[in-house]
């Protein structure tokens, strides 16, 4: 990862120092922008948890489950939003951007809760998924009804609550801005949500088919991940800060290239990742039948025997470790892994070239460079 040098900025009360691990400016000697995001998320959730617990002690397990999972994570989307705003504001802090970055993270948390239900995943970030946690508890105490149905129902409610709470944070973020900016932020927020939902639908649809549709795979890559993970967070921060059309166009270009690289890396980790680092079994994507670019390229170059292995393993819910190992061998032997790695390099170079020429201050440029590199070369 690129190490960033200490710089000064007379517009800020403290020396802006980049944390090489987070890529974020220090607000003071002990606090960074991302730490403020954590504080806002925690405070926002606690306010809603008080209401839940006031209704009755029966809601406490749901509140506790959210509390145990809402903190942490990579916070890359929040970081891109924060730096998108600072880039548009020439390095200055932008009122409301911490709340906006927090809204993105809360929306993402809700999406993960629902995504885990759709994928029937057992773990997320090293913890049981929400639906699995409540299904297991239901089963353990011997409640009436189907345990898995109960777990799914609770996860849907938890995800819905967090989605609505994320909208509350967006409203707080734009509370003091002018009407034009407020409308522009809301329009971008709405577009981000709709594209993410559409990408998820296409991803699920692909898992119902026997062969990979390359065009659909590209669209899933773009809308479920690239624009959602990087492009739209950058644009949201930039829009809140009043970015001009040229800078927003640069943010879009960075988002597409770096965002696609981010998802391609995620696809590789989903098959070859270390569970101890990723917090999720590397067999899940194969069992779920994820029609990723990695799988599309493997199918394209596979021999007849290799195609049989792909057909038998991809989307097989009963796949064991030996079958997963066979799939990994096919992905490597067909050259699919090497081709995806090369594509990641090309996309990263494209994104970094746009960052290098963007009309932002040098500190923002260094931060965006660091963040793009984190997306591309991460291990979790």
Residue 226's pLDDT is 86
**DSSP 8-state secondary structure symbol assigned to residue 225:** I
Residue 124's pLDDT is 87
Distance between CA 123 and CA 283 in Å, rounded? Answer: 12
Distance between CA 343 and CA 263 in Å, rounded? Answer: 11
- Copy the structure tokens of residue 161: 């609550």
Q: CB of 250 within 8 A of CB of 230? A: no
Residue 73's pLDDT is 80
Element (H, E) at 142: none
Angle at which helices 97-119 and 76-88 cross, to 10°:
150
For each of the domains in the chain, give its residue range(s) and CATH number, in order of start: 33-377 (1.10.600.10)
- Going by C-beta distance under 8 Å and a sequence separation of 6 or more, which residues neighbour residue 271? 282, 285, 286, 294, 327, 328, 331
Q: Say whether 59 sits in a helix, a strand or coil.
A: helix
Instruction: Encode the chain (380 residues) as per-residue pLDDT tens digits.
Output: 333 333 223 222 222 333 333 334 433 333 468 889 999 999 999 999 999 999 999 999 999 999 999 987 889 999 999 999 999 999 898 999 999 999 999 999 999 999 999 988 898 888 999 999 999 999 999 999 999 999 999 999 999 999 999 999 999 999 999 999 999 999 999 999 999 999 999 999 988 888 878 888 889 989 988 899 999 999 999 999 999 999 999 999 999 999 999 999 989 998 998 888 877 778 888 998 888 999 999 999 999 999 999 999 999 999 999 999 999 999 999 999 999 999 999 999 999 999 999 999 999 999 999 999 988 888 87
pTM (2 decimals)? 0.87
Q: CB of 177 within 8 A of CB of 99? A: no
Distance between CA 178 and CA 74 in Å, rounded? Answer: 32
- Copy the structure tokens of residue 202: 């296409």
- Copy the structure tokens of residue 176: 């003091």
DSSP string for residues in 163-223: HHHHHHHHHHHTTTS-HHHHHHHHHHHHHHHHHHHHHHHHHHHHTTSSS--HHHHHHHIII
């Amino acid at each position: 990862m690129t190490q960033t040098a200490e710089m000064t900025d007379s517009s800020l009360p403290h020396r802006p120092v980049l944390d090489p691990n987070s890529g974020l400016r220090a607000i003071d000697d002990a606090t960074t922008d991302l730490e403020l995001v954590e504080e806002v998320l925690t405070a926002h959730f606690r306010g809603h948890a008080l209401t839940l617990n006031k209704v009755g002690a029966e809601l406490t397990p749901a509140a506790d489950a959210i509390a145990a999972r809402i903190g942490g994570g990579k916070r890359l989307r929040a970081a891109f939003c924060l730096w998108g705003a600072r880039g548009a504001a020439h390095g200055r802090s932008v009122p409301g951007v911490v709340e906006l970055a927090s809204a993105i993270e809360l929306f993402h948390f809700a999406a993960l809760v629902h995504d885990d239900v759709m994928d029937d995943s057992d773990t997320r970030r090293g913890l049981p998924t929400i639906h699995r946690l409540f299904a297991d508890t239901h089963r353990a105490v011997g409640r009436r009804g189907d345990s898995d149905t109960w777990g799914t129902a609770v996860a849907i409610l938890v995800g819905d609550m967090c989605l609505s709470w994320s909208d509350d944070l967006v409203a707080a973020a734009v509370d003091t801005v002018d009407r034009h900016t407020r409308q522009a932020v809301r329009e971008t927020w709405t577009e981000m949500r709709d594209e993410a939902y559409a990408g998820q639908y296409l991803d699920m649809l692909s898992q119902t088919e026997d062969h990979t549709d390359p065009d659909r795979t590209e669209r899933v890559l773009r809308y479920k991940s690239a624009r959602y993970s990087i492009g739209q967070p950058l644009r949201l921060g930039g829009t809140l800060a009043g970015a001009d059309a040229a800078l927003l166009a640069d943010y879009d270009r960075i988002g597409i290239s770096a965002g696609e690289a981010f998802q391609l890396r995620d696809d590789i980790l989903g098959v070859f990742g270390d569970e101890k680092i990723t917090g999720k079994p590397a067999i899940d994507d194969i069992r779920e039948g994820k029609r990723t670019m990695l799988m599309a390229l493997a199918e394209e170059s596979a021999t007849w025997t290799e195609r049989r292995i792909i057909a038998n393993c991809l989307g097989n819910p009963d796949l064991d470790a030996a079958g997963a190992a066979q799939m990994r061998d096919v992905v490597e032997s067909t050259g699919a892994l090497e081709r995806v790695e090369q594509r990641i390099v090309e996309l990263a170079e494209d994104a970094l070239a746009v960052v290098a020429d963007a009309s932002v201050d040098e500190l923002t440029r260094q931060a965006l460079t660091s963040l793009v590199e984190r997306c591309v070369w991460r291990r979790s």
